[in-house]
Amino acid sequence: MPNRLDLPAGFRWGAATAAYQIEGAVEEDGRGPSVWDVFTTRSGAVRDGHTGAVACDHYHRYAEDIALMKGLGLDGYRFSIAWSRILPTGTGPVNPAGLAFYDRLVDSLLEAGITPLPTLFHWDLPQALEEAGGWLNRETAYRFAEYATLVADRLGDRIPTWITLNEPFVHTVFGYALGTHAPGRTLMFEALPAAHHQLLAHGLAASPLHERGLEVMLSNNLTPVWPASSSPEDAAAAEAYDALHNRLFTDPVLLGRYPDLSALGVPDDIYGAVRDGDLDLIHTPRLDGLGLNYYNPTRVAAPTSPGLPFDLVDITEAPHTAFGWPVVPDGLRQLLAGLRKTYGEALPPITITENGCSVDESTTPDHPRIDFLATHLDALAQAIAEGADVRGYYTWSLLDNFEWAEGYHQRFGLVHVDFATQRRTPRASYAWYRDLIAAHRARGER
Ligand code: FCB
């Protein structure tokens, strides 16, 4: 069985973060409010009323954080750009101080020998755009393309590859369908126009990025879907869930069409959101790489009550992370095999843009994280041996950070952060990852 040291030579090692989860400094240098600044003030929205107002104070401590990345020997760093730092109201005049922060960040990364991999949208929509309808408003897609273009004009000379969106599935479902994330809407399936408009935003931004000679990726949260039994009812429920979680966000981009959403009761034109020509706009700009965020598989059964066309069932036989997510490394291999089967020649090279786990703070050393990373990287090596084209791996996350509705309770970092003092302390998993990267590189050089 191949293992992680057998990952191909030139395989890129990275770590990932996102702006609202680490930056803090939410009112500094002209940054405008985002939906998360507003959502976190809602009573009961986030555990213990935590907010990202300070987070890891990365806005001021980025140099220290880059030194930590350099200590790991990373090839690449995935971060996100806060739209409302660049355009405080989402559109209109540029805030030069906001752009200057990312300019400094990018230059410092390059000086450390680390390739920046920015994500243009990781859920922190400028609040002013939310007030105009957010992602339910088609216009937001056009504002995104303008924002992407101007950021690329400023930073594209130093950054070869760009991720447009992070996990439109999670943003749509948690933010617009269930209301557990910002902007906190509870529209159930009527949230899906927000998905279409995000995909349209991706397509509209991809062309100007390509014209500037840049590569474009999209990071999707994908999950292998396991029917709870071999019954046709469970198989149908699993298919409906797969359409919603996976295919809705990947088929339009790679195949130029939506999957059949009839089992979900969703009309083909997604409640009138899909207009003539939209699928071309989404599909025609080539996707240079698919970003894959993998955390766990999903077991699905036929519904036991009216409402949703599926039930989600826990994977009880697997160990669970501190967050309660099942740990199934082979799910990553299954997912990669499934993507090859579904998309064939249409599937671009893949980069794992997130994978990792939260571990209880009191668990030191953080051996469960080391086991998680080691077993997932072994599964990845196996997938590549079976034919998957995977170019790199960005673990979530470099630092403990603001984990959305869970506040600071879920700790995903290779580096522990004491949020009272901002002191960073590398964990055992940090040393382990550093040593793995060095050993893998040494093998390639032999
Ligand atoms: C992903 C998000 C990321 C982080 C991890 C744990 O869904 O993209 O920001 O919260 O989960």
Average pLDDT of span 429-434? 99
- How far is ligand 1, taken at its centre, from the CA of residue 68, in Å? 21
446: pLDDT strictly greater than 90: no
- 57 Cβ neighbours under 8 A, 6+ residues apart: 23, 24, 25, 422
Among 167, 190, 233, 345, the active-site one is 167
> What is the DSSP annotation of 85-102?
HHSTTSSSS--HHHHHHH
CB-CB neighbours of 71 under 10 Å: 14
Two tokens, residue 365: 């050393």
403 close to ligand 1 (CB < 6 Angstrom): yes
The two three-digit tokens of residue 389, written as one number = 């084209």
Answer whether 138's CB lies under 8 Å from 96's CB. Answer: no
Closest CA to 52 of 166, 167, 181, 229: 181
Best residue for ligand 1 mutational test, from 20, 218, 293 (most atoms within 8 Å of Cβ): 293
Separation CA 102–CA 431 (nearest Å): 28
Amino acid found at 322: A
Instruction: Say if residues 320 and 372 touch (Cβ distance below 8 Å).
Output: no
- 266-286, pLDDT tens digit by residue? 999 999 999 999 999 999 999
Nearest atom within ligand 1 for CA of residue 18: 9
**What pLDDT, on the 0 to 100 scale, is given for residue 146?**
98
Pick from 185, 181, 166: nearest CA to 19: 166
Q: 217 near 75, Cβ under 8 Å?
A: no
- The whole-chain average pLDDT of the chain stands at 98
Give the Å distance between the CA of 121 and the centre of ligand 1: 13
Which pLDDT band holds residue 7 (cuts at 50, 70, 90)?
very high
- What b/e sequence results for 392-408 when a residue is b if at least 16 CB atoms lie within 10 Å of its CB, and e otherwise? bbbbbbbbbbbbbbbbb
Q: How far is the CA of 294 from the centre of ligand 1 (A)?
A: 10
Give the position, in ligand 1's atom list, of the atom nearest the Cα of 170: 7
User: Which is the catalytic residue, given 23, 130, 239, 354?
Assistant: 354
pLDDT of residue 390: 98
Q: How far is the CA of 355 from the centre of ligand 1 (A)?
A: 9
Q: Kindly state the greatest CA–CA separation across the chain.
A: 61
pLDDT of residue 383: 98
Residues listed for the chain: 446
**Is the CB of 412 inside a 6 Å radius of any atom of ligand 1?**
yes
Q: Per-residue pLDDT averaged across 289-301, rounded?
A: 98
Indicate the pLDDT class of residue 290, thresholds 50, 70 and 90: very high
The pLDDT of residue 445 is 80
Active site residue 317: no
Describe the strand order of the beta sheet including 311-313 as a list of residue ranges: 225-227, 298-301, 311-313
Other beta carbons within 10 Å of 67: 13
For the residues 54-77, what does the mean pLDDT come to? 99
Which sign, positive or negative, has the C-alpha torsion 231, 236, 239, 244?
negative
Beta carbon of 221 within 6 Å of any ligand 1 atom: yes
Specify the pTM: 0.98
Q: Is 23 a catalytic residue?
A: no
In whole angstroms, what is the distance from residue 382 CA to residue 203 CA?
33
Is the pLDDT at 82 greater than 90, yes or no? yes
CA distance 295 to 202: 23
What is the position in ligand 1's atom list of the atom closest to the CA of 167?
8
Q: Please give the distance, rounded to the nearest whole angstrom, from the Cα atom of residue 437 to the centre of ligand 1.
A: 23
Q: Which amino acid is at 441?
A: R
Task: Please tell me the predicted confidence (pLDDT) of residue 444.
Answer: 84
